[in-house]
Amino acid sequence: MSDMLDTRAAWLSESDLESARERVPMVYVDAVPVRTDERGQVTTVGLLLRGLPDGSISRAVVSGRVLYGERVRDALLRHLEKDLGPMALPQVPTSPQPFTIVEYFPDETVTGFHDPRQHAVSLAYVVPIDGDCAPSQDALDLVWVTPQEATSPAFQQEMSGGQGRLIRMALAYSGQLP
C-alpha cells in the first residue's frame, strides 16, 4: 500500500533530534518490568543499571521514544526487547493503558521528573515479564528485587531523574507499595 509509512526512514539525525528537543515535547514510553505470582501480585521489579550521558550510573526502568508512525504498543515491545532481550516475553495487552503520564523537564524543579536533554511526555506502564531476561544494548545490568527492596532508601538513592518515584507510583498502582 503506497500510503504506508516506513518508520525506519523516520529517524531523525542527531542534529535534527537535538533541534526538535529544543522546540517540542518528545513522546516516550516508560515500562516497569515486573514478575507476578499466580494471583497476579507483583513479586519482583526489574531495575536496569545504565550509564548516563553525563558519565554517571543509575538504576532505571525500560524507557524510550515513540517513533513517528509507531503504535505505542509497538514502541513498548521494541524497548522491552532492546533492554531485556528477545526472550523476555513481556505481557503487553492489545490496547495498553498507562497507569500514569509523566512529564520530564530539563528543570528538575518543575515536576521532579528530570531529563536534562528535553521536555518529554512519557506514558508509563507496568509490564509483567514471563521469560528469561538479559540486559542488552546500553543496559549494563538487570536485577530483580522485591517491592520492599525497590522502595528502600538504598535502591531509591541509585535512581535518578525521578525513576525512584516512578517505581513507587507503579507499585502503588499495583497495590504493592510497602
Which residue in 78, 73, 79, 75 sits closest to 93, CA to CA?
A: 73
Read off the DSSP letter of residue 76.
H
List of domains in the chain: 23-173 (3.90.79.10)
pLDDT, position 112: 93
What number is the average pLDDT over the span 52-66?
A: 88
Residue 122 pairs in a beta bridge with 28, 102
Query: 83-137: per-residue pLDDT in tens?
Result: 999 999 999 999 999 999 999 999 999 999 999 989 999 999 999 999 999 988 7
pLDDT number for residue 12:
73
> Quick one: pLDDT band at residue 147, thresholds 50, 70, 90?
very high
pLDDT(59) > 80: yes
SS3 category, 168: helix
Q: Please name which of 50, 44, 45 lies closest in space to residue 135, comparing C-alpha atoms.
A: 50
Q: How far is the C-alpha of 176 from the C-alpha of 95, rounded, in Å?
A: 24
The pLDDT assigned to 5 comes to: 46
CA distance 47 to 156: 11
Confidence of residue 18 (pLDDT cuts 50, 70, 90): confident
pTM beyond 0.85: yes
64, 27 contact by CB (below 8 A) = no
